Amino acid sequence: MFLEIDSELAHTVNMVGITYLLPDIFSAITILCMGIYIVFEKDLYVARQRKPFFFLLSVCFVYSLVCIPMDIALNSENVFSPSVSLIIATVHAVFSQVIANMLMFYIVKDSRNSFARTKDLKPVVYAALILTCASVTFFVVNIRTGIAFSFPPEGGAVEFGPLYFFHFLLMSLSAVITFAVIFLERDSMLPQIRRMASYVPFIIAVLVVLQIIYPKSEALLILVSVLLFYCFTNLTTSSFLIDNLTGFGNLKYMSSFLSYYFSKGVRFSVITVKIQDYSRMHMDFDVKSVDALIKMIGDEFAGLELIQQVFRISENNFVLIGPAPSDQGCRILCTQIVDIFARTYVIDRTTFNLKGDIYLIPCPVVASSRSEVFDMLAFFSEKKVDLKNLSASYYSIRNDFFSFIVCDLRLKELLNRRNYIVKLIREACEKELFEVEFQPVFDTGGNFCNLAECLIRLYDKRYGHYVSPAEFIPVAESEGYIDRIGLFVLSRSCRMIRECIDNCLPVPTISVNFSARQFYSPDLVDDVINLIRSYGIPAEYIKIEITETNIIANFTKVRHVMEQMMACGLGFYLDDFGSGYANISRYISLPFECVKIDRSFIKAAMNDRKNDVFLRSVVSCFSSLGYKVIFEGIETVEGYEYVCNFEKAVIQGFFYSPPVSVGDFRKLLGLPDF
**What is the model's pLDDT at position 157?**
59
Closest CA to 340 of 325, 358, 323: 358
**What is the model's pLDDT at position 7?**
43
Which range (35-44, 103-112, 269-278) has the least confidence? 103-112
**What is the model's pLDDT at position 548?**
74
Closest CA to 658 of 455, 506, 397, 408: 455
pTM, full prediction:
0.60
β pairing state of 350-353 and 344-347: antiparallel
CA-CA-CA-CA torsion sign (589, 594, 599, 603): positive
The top-scoring range by mean pLDDT among 84-88, 327-331, 455-459 is 455-459
Average pLDDT, the chain: 79
Q: Report the Cα–Cα distance between both ends of the chain, in Å, rounded.
A: 100
**What is the model's pLDDT at position 450?**
93
**Burial (0-12, 13-18, 19+ Cβ within 10 Å), 669:** buried
Closest CA to 182 of 101, 260, 286, 107: 107
d(CA 354, CA 277): 8
**What is the model's pLDDT at position 118?**
46
Q: Is the pLDDT of residue 316 over 60?
A: yes
For helices 524-535 and 555-566, the axis angle rounded to 10 degrees is 30
DSSP-assigned states of every residue in 9-21: HHHHHHHH-HHHH
CA-CA-CA-CA torsion sign (519, 522, 525, 529): negative
- For 177-188, give one letter per residue: b (16+ CB within 10 A) or e: bbbbbbebbeeb
**What is the model's pLDDT at position 119?**
53
**What is the model's pLDDT at position 288?**
85
The top-scoring range by mean pLDDT among 343-352, 383-392, 429-438 is 429-438
CA atoms within a 13 Å half-sphere pointing along the CA-CB vector of 131: 28
Q: Render pLDDT for 472-508 as a digit per residue (tens, 0 to 9).
A: 998 898 888 999 999 999 999 999 999 999 999 999 9
Which range (134-148, 288-302, 351-365, 575-589) has the least confidence? 575-589
Which range (41-50, 139-148, 236-245, 542-551) has the least confidence? 41-50
Q: Render pLDDT for 88-139 as a digit per residue (tens, 0 to 9).
A: 777 777 777 676 666 666 665 555 544 434 455 667 667 777 777 777 787 7
Q: Render pLDDT for 280-307 as a digit per residue (tens, 0 to 9).
A: 787 778 888 888 888 889 889 988 988 8
Which tops the pLDDT comparison, 294 or 27?
294
**What is the model's pLDDT at position 276?**
83
Could you tell me how far CA 516 lies from the centroid of its own chain? 24
Over residues 557-575, the mean pLDDT reads: 89
**What is the model's pLDDT at position 102?**
67
Over residues 228-241, the mean pLDDT reads: 62
Compute how many other C-beta atoms are within 10 angstroms of the C-beta atom of residue 504: 7
The pLDDT > 90 percentage for the chain reads 28
The top-scoring range by mean pLDDT among 33-42, 105-114, 181-190, 348-357 is 348-357
Q: Is the pLDDT of residue 6 over 50?
A: no
Q: Is the pLDDT of residue 5 over 50?
A: no
**What is the model's pLDDT at position 42?**
62
